[in-house]
Structure 1
């Protein structure tokens, strides 16, 4: 048995050895071809899977870039809208939300840069986007800082200018270019994804045939086919997973699109609000221009009126025989006929005096008008003094009649008795006039306005945060339609108005509120629908009776016949006003030295060591009066100073006149003489510096 088996085996080996060469080569060749085909199919399948994965990744990045750009677009729009709301409302919450949104926009730009790091063209646009974001951020932060530091008018103007520049929508344009560029790339990548998917599917379809061949050929081929099939299933699961991720991304894009649509609706609403704010801003600019024009006109009128009133008063003193203050008189109005009547020359003199008095009255009315114009324009500094409330409201009757028309009945009810208040009379008159105009508008041009004053003693906290004490009450009451509680709670808000666009700025009551607060007073509004409105102003009672008595004694001493005559150094750039001032001083018996330029004043003053007082204008070219006096005091010149002004300029310049003696143009001879006496008797500022 063993021998037989061995022979059989030997025969078999011989048989194998006897096989033709081609039969041994064909299986090897077929095996090699099968292995090569299998390897080639495996490589192609892996490459197709890699291509598909790359295409899916590129498509995902495109969706991500588009989503970030859309989010950035909405964030920038919300930030600018919140800034506009912050400038109008000055609400710190709006300011914080603006800051958060603007920082979020910067973060989104950085995310956009990271998502586009493989695209040089897109990185170039993102660089432009970062530059535009930085430039726009500086502009918006400047506006926010102005609003934070209570420069609201400047902030509104800066916001208006910033929205009209080309940089306002530059970020939007760059984002539009980036989105368009990425949409184009997304279409290309979607096409590549479809092609890679089809190629992978075709390769996957050939796996079945390869499996059959491998099953027939050998167990190794079966194992290879099984491995390939396993890899194919893995690739399919990966493709399905990527497909689900794409579906989720598409859903996220749809949700984000809906959010952007909602944000776009809010943006339209905010644009409408911004348009209303811009309209209010334009109205504010118009009122500012009117105020500047009014202040300039009033300043020129005051200079001219100073010359007119001074000339009229000098002429009257000459005609009436009081030209010499030393006591000499000239009887111009009598003749040698007798004392029982007047000559023709005397009657002419009386007529001339009467005409001069009429002209003086008209000039004084014009001076009062310019003071009210300056108060309206806010071009005059606050110069508080004691005010008789009863006398003030009675003196406003004619002005109110001319302002509100003939169909409104005005009732005056003075009741403050001898109580006085401490305030700037012209600013207070302007505030009351503003309330009367509001009352007229509330009555549609017909009804009754009652202007009253009274005495009231308040308990601490009885009216808002007003401290307890004696107050003078001023009230404006109308018979109009009144206000609802909602309107009443917002009347003091800036830019809030119930009037149609173009009929009001919403700043009247807010300005009155601010002025009364600066005087240490309080304002209260009592109103109900269809029952009229009463605006009550409470101002502290003046406790300066001792100062008033001292001022009266000083005035009497200054006007006494034995008052000393002084050497006055006059600085005035207007030659007409300078000539009128010098003539007035000479009429009062003072000696004067004139200077027409402030830069030459110090050198010229050194030539007159006997000078007693400096009388200088405030507004002059190249150097103002306060600046000139400051330089003199720095050089050790310590003389009393009397400032003469018809227009004190802005608030910063008006602050230089604090604790100084000020005489307003136009002035009378008596006012000039009294102010010179007051300034000369007061201690001169700068003595200590001169001694040092």
Structure 2
């Protein structure tokens, strides 16, 4: 935890032995643990302390866990507090619904799995800590602004006009810094949460795929499994948007001809927007290419088009244009002087008022109804453009439509690298090999090993990079290493460097829920972005150890030995 402030975790159970067990399990988190042997004692502790997470036993005398949770939620201070139920009895769906209705955020069954309990409590404790840090940061910035304003207000009356002018300039600058720090902090938090969810989705998707293979051919069961897989994939898409907002998604920039890219999208846009929306394109002659990830740019333009459609419920016109412009210092906020391609999407919709326009790029802000938007669309586009060295600008007037401009740097003169998608090819089957799988998350570790074994390979599982090195030193028959990146002690990238130095011919794959890895890592090291599917795993294994030239596997084994 370093120098971070500890948070309070309240443990509620009428059995002292169970309280002691929870205390032992959660002591590794390094937080303050408060114990309560009854509901009344728990309420007293809540009123005396700021508590981040409450762990409640469902079955207690006097008040049971559901009743206690309902009483906690009734108090204004505790309406957003994380409550986790521990239940030693069989929990039915009705019990789950009752618990969630009472205010629970999660359940832990008995017997308690220590790692699972620690992981669940750690997530909510860290979320509470980050929220408090953001609140403290906001309060400190507001205090500084107030202090500076008071100092300027005491200036000499003869310089009042100049002081007022400087005050306005300083307040605007401080407000911009305040907003940048707030968004940066939220981006860091969002990126971390997205990484954790990628690990969870990795386990869910991998296990669902394997379960689907071995289930009987019952259409009803397969429909349910497919629905669960689609739900997990939607979760993966959301984490990608969260990483895009946090500016942590991995980009693959290419030299892109904007008119060709947009023209290839027009038919798809017409189907997506419907017959009520007229699409028009307008491109400057001899428009130079730009350097950007073409797939991400397509997603950004589609996202903007869907927003425009929602702003034109009765139909209208969407114009996509692009032109070249030389930008000087301070011409467009966030842009360095130079030549840029400006891609603009202009609609004839309802437009936005000033308040909505100011908040348009805020993460999770949306004017759409429940279930119709995540509020990450414009943040994702803004993150993509910023990562590509450009900037986004939005102009809008209520009743007169909106225009979103994406400013991207002009690419250096070179051949356009924009191959159009081709029909997917079947993954070449690889020879059976021995794979060392390294991940500190046992659920992900087991899921990856199961997918490999289902593909016909032999998997050796270890939970740390240090254990992996010991296996490699004692077992010369390992053909491939798949390692997580973010692990305690030695990271996956550090492990890859050591393997490259000692066993240069041994292939290594980095699997990670993050998109950014240390820049000094050899870019030729293959990566798997979590959550990945079995077909993705099979493809990269086939690429590295598949029987392509017949001599390669033998050469590899000789190097390992």
**TM-score, with length taken from structure 1:** 0.43
Secondary structure of 2:242's match? helix
- Cα distance between partner residues in 1 of 2:263 and 2:520: 30
**Corresponding residue for 1:317?**
213
Deviation at 1:543, TM superposition (A): 2.7
**Corresponding residue for 2:459?**
592
- Cα distance between partner residues in 2 of 1:463 and 1:274: 29
C-alpha spacing 1:654/1:358, structure 2 compared with 1 (3 Å): farther
> Is the Cα–Cα contact under 8 Å of residues 434 and 480 in structure 2 kept in the other structure?
yes
1:267 aligns with 2:163: yes
> Is the Cα–Cα contact under 8 Å of residues 400 and 433 in structure 1 kept in the other structure?
no
- Cα distance between partner residues in 2 of 1:630 and 1:612: 17
C-alpha spacing 1:278/1:362, structure 2 compared with 1 (3 Å): same
- Cα distance between partner residues in 1 of 2:183 and 2:345: 24
Deviation at 1:301, TM superposition (A): 1.7
- What is the Cα-based RMSD across aligned positions, in Å? 5.6
**Corresponding residue for 2:222?**
353
Deviation at 1:396, TM superposition (A): 8.9
> Is the Cα–Cα contact under 8 Å of residues 303 and 646 in structure 1 kept in the other structure?
yes
**Corresponding residue for 1:377?**
246
Deviation at 1:420, TM superposition (A): 13
Deviation at 1:381, TM superposition (A): 2.8
**Corresponding residue for 1:477?**
346
Deviation at 1:542, TM superposition (A): 5.2
**Corresponding residue for 1:674?**
539
**Corresponding residue for 2:202?**
306
CA offsets, 1:234-262, max 9 Å, x none?
Answer: xxxxxxxxxxxxxxxxxxxxxxxxx9544
Compare 584-593 and 507-516 and name the one that shifted more. 507-516
Q: Which runs of 5+ in 1 are unaligned?
A: 1-156, 177-258, 320-331, 334-348, 402-408, 484-496
CA offsets, 1:339-391, max 9 Å, x none?
Answer: xxxxxxxxxx2322222122222222222222122112213232458998688
Deviation at 1:479, TM superposition (A): 1.2
Deviation at 1:463, TM superposition (A): 8.0
- Cα distance between partner residues in 1 of 2:223 and 2:200: 22
- Cα distance between partner residues in 2 of 1:281 and 1:400: 38
> Is the Cα–Cα contact under 8 Å of residues 199 and 513 in structure 2 kept in the other structure?
yes
Deviation at 1:512, TM superposition (A): 5.8
**Corresponding residue for 1:236?**
none
Deviation at 1:523, TM superposition (A): 8.5
Deviation at 1:500, TM superposition (A): 7.3
CA offsets, 1:558-609, max 9 Å, x none?
Answer: 434xx31222111111000000000000000111112211233222222221
Secondary structure of 1:367's match? helix
Bigger fraction of residues in strand: 2
Compare 614-623 and 308-317 and name the one that shifted more. 614-623
**Corresponding residue for 2:449?**
582
CA offsets, 1:262-282, max 9 Å, x none?
Answer: 434312322233223323333
Secondary structure of 1:633's match? helix
- Cα distance between partner residues in 1 of 2:520 and 2:263: 30
C-alpha spacing 1:515/1:640, structure 2 compared with 1 (3 Å): same
**Corresponding residue for 2:359?**
503
- Cα distance between partner residues in 1 of 2:395 and 2:144: 43
Deviation at 1:311, TM superposition (A): 1.1
- Cα distance between partner residues in 1 of 2:297 and 2:221: 36
Q: List aligned pairs for 1:2-401, cutoff 5 A.
A: 164=144, 261-319=157-215, 349-384=218-253
- Cα distance between partner residues in 1 of 2:243 and 2:176: 23
**Aligned match for 2:417, one of 531, 536, 543:** 543
**Corresponding residue for 1:425?**
295
- Cα distance between partner residues in 2 of 1:501 and 1:521: 20
**Corresponding residue for 1:623?**
490
- Cα distance between partner residues in 2 of 1:394 and 1:583: 42
CA offsets, 1:22-74, max 9 Å, x none?
Answer: xxxxxxxxxxxxxxxxxxxxxxxxxxxxxxxxxxxxxxxxxxxxxxxxxxxxx
- Cα distance between partner residues in 1 of 2:201 and 2:378: 32
Deviation at 1:520, TM superposition (A): 8.5
C-alpha spacing 1:502/1:592, structure 2 compared with 1 (3 Å): same
- Cα distance between partner residues in 2 of 1:368 and 1:397: 23
> Is the Cα–Cα contact under 8 Å of residues 390 and 415 in structure 1 kept in the other structure?
no
**Corresponding residue for 2:39?**
none
- Cα distance between partner residues in 1 of 2:290 and 2:455: 33
Compare 356-365 and 259-268 and name the one that shifted more. 259-268
- Cα distance between partner residues in 2 of 1:352 and 1:661: 36
C-alpha spacing 1:462/1:165, structure 2 compared with 1 (3 Å): closer
C-alpha spacing 1:289/1:433, structure 2 compared with 1 (3 Å): farther
> Is the Cα–Cα contact under 8 Å of residues 598 and 628 in structure 1 kept in the other structure?
yes
**Aligned match for 1:641, one of 469, 483, 508:** 508
Secondary structure of 2:180's match? helix
- Cα distance between partner residues in 1 of 2:522 and 2:482: 14
C-alpha spacing 1:607/1:634, structure 2 compared with 1 (3 Å): same
> Is the Cα–Cα contact under 8 Å of residues 273 and 305 in structure 2 kept in the other structure?
no
- Cα distance between partner residues in 2 of 1:400 and 1:634: 54
C-alpha spacing 1:534/1:656, structure 2 compared with 1 (3 Å): same
Deviation at 1:616, TM superposition (A): 1.3
> Is the Cα–Cα contact under 8 Å of residues 448 and 478 in structure 1 kept in the other structure?
no
- Cα distance between partner residues in 2 of 1:657 and 1:587: 30
C-alpha spacing 1:434/1:164, structure 2 compared with 1 (3 Å): farther
- Cα distance between partner residues in 2 of 1:262 and 1:396: 61
C-alpha spacing 1:514/1:446, structure 2 compared with 1 (3 Å): same
Secondary structure of 2:168's match? helix
Residue correspondences, number:
377
Deviation at 1:288, TM superposition (A): 2.6
Secondary structure of 1:616's match? strand
- Cα distance between partner residues in 1 of 2:265 and 2:532: 20
> Is the Cα–Cα contact under 8 Å of residues 478 and 532 in structure 1 kept in the other structure?
yes
**TM-score, with length taken from structure 2:** 0.52
